[in-house]
């Protein structure tokens, strides 16, 4: 369990306390076991705490682990853009105006994505697929260098010898505008059920690049798909009779049951500091039986000249979001919704995000750390009463009697 906690801390979202065999009033010899899954080009971690001296619990964990593997494999085969036969890959390859059959799993996740696109007024937009690829943050790139086993695209920037593609160069602004325009047609996507089968009707819209290359609307449901997976897996934990543990997908989407060791069954979440100049965490919160997600502009990023580019795309500019919210954590609801919300809030910027939280997220806990005009983070914004935060930063707001965030 110590290794699991360290992995959380190193990744970006949180560190969890180690479990020991204190008994917690339950009797038996309680310990924590972990299972790891390589899916969606990242690692998912299942941690379960129980009395594993009891052979029945060991067998249940084995069965749960196999069931989770089967579920995640099915999810990847339905949603992954790197699986050529997935429903999403087939949708992305379809012609404008084409009706594309979906399996029930894809239909369920896509329905949630459409709902969150509408709920956030388009700030969460799963149709920024080409913009993500244009700036070098898609699975085609490894450390921002193109893998030669994957086909190059007309908008790629070639190295001087023409042998590989690099993200470390400004893309053609014409493609930035084209892909922004394409993503704006997300509202025209239709999904529906007919005669017991599921379908997506692709918007009848095509954009043409300067080289005569054409593109239709393309989706990436990887983020919200990981959150959906976290929700399902913790439900599976309950079905198999495990009260204590959590499931983490890529250190950004987490759904937790109770902590065996934590006070009142709560997990201690230490939110990792985005500032490389300051070690440790920027805030600490406590949760039990809750889902959460974190988005940050520091985990996948690169610097070009005076500008820093991150993997979070602003659908209204077609470019990586600019200075503002460095990291955002949303706790409550479902992990799938939290994934979409953290992305949307990060893109909105501080003032608009605060207004959205006050209007729509009173039942959630939200913690954000914000960059100043010169780049480094300087203050924390939250609706969590008495938040424990790093004294290297200031608290940028108060909370009024109605639970609203009031910026200083």
Q: Which pLDDT score is estimated for 265?
A: 94
Q: Which pLDDT score is estimated for 168?
A: 67
- pTM of the predicted protein model: 0.91
Please tell me the CATH code under which domain 88-221 is placed. Answer: 1.10.3980.10
R_g (Cα) of the chain, nearest Å: 22
Burial 370-385 (b: 16+ CB within 10 A, else e): bbeeeeebbbbbbbbe
- Residues in CB range of 172: below 8 A, 6 or more apart: 155, 210
51 forms beta bridges with 30
CA distance 116 to 254: 18
Domain ranges of the chain: 88-221
- Residues in CB range of 105: below 8 A, 6 or more apart: 74, 75, 78, 79
Q: Which residue has the tokens 């964990």?
A: 61
Q: Which pLDDT score is estimated for 359?
A: 98
Q: Which is it for strands 388-389 and 206-208: parallel, antiparallel or unpaired? A: unpaired
Regions of the chain short of the pLDDT cut 70: 1-28, 142-150, 162-168, 277
202 forms beta bridges with none
Task: State the DSSP code for 187.
Answer: G
Q: Which pLDDT score is estimated for 362?
A: 94
């Amino acid at each position: 369990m110590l290794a699991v906690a360290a992995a959380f801390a190193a990744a970006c979202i949180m560190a969890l306390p180690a479990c020991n065999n204190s008994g917690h009033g339950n009797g038996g010899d309680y310990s924590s076991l972990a299972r790891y899954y390589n899916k969606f080009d990242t690692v998912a971690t299942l941690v379960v705490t129980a009395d594993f001296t009891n052979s029945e619990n060991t067998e249940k964990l084995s069965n749960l682990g196999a069931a989770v593997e089967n579920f995640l494999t099915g999810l990847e085969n339905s949603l992954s853009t790197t699986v050529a036969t997935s429903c999403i890959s087939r949708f992305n390859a379809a012609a404008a105006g084409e009706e594309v059959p979906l399996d029930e799993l894809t239909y369920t996740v896509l329905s949630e994505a459409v709902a969150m696109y509408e709920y956030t007024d388009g700030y969460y937009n799963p149709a920024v697929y080409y913009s993500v690829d244009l700036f070098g943050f898609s699975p085609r790139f490894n450390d921002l260098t193109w893998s030669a086993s994957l086909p190059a695209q007309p908008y790629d920037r070639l190295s001087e010898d023409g042998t590989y593609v690099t993200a470390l160069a400004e893309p053609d602004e014409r493609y930035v505008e084209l892909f922004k325009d394409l993503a704006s047609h997300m509202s025209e996507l239709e999904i529906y059920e007919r005669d017991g089968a599921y379908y997506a009707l692709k918007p009848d819209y095509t954009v043409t690049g300067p080289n005569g290359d054409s593109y239709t609307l393309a989706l990436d449901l990887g983020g919200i798909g990981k959150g959906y997976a976290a929700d399902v897996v913790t439900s599976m934990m309950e079905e198999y009779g495990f009260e204590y543990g959590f499931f983490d997908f890529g250190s950004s989407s987490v759904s937790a049951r109770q902590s065996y060791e934590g006070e009142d069954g709560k997990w201690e979440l230490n939110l990792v500091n985005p500032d490389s100049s300051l070690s440790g965490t920027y805030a600490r919160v406590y949760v039990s039986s809750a889902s959460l997600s974190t988005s940050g502009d520091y985990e996948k990023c690169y610097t070009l000249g005076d500008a820093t580019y991150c993997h979070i795309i602003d659908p209204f500019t077609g470019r990586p979001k600019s200075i503002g919210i460095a990291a955002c954590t949303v706790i409550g609801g479902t992990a799938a919704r939290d994934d979409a919300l953290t992305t949307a809030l990060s893109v909105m910027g501080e003032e608009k995000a605060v207004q959205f939280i006050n209007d729509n997220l009173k039942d959630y806990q939200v913690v954000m750390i914000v960059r100043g005009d010169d780049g480094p983070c300087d203050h924390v914004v939250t609706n969590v009463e008495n938040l424990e935060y790093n004294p290297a930063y200031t608290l940028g707001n108060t909370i009024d009697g109605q639970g609203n965030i009031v910026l200083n």
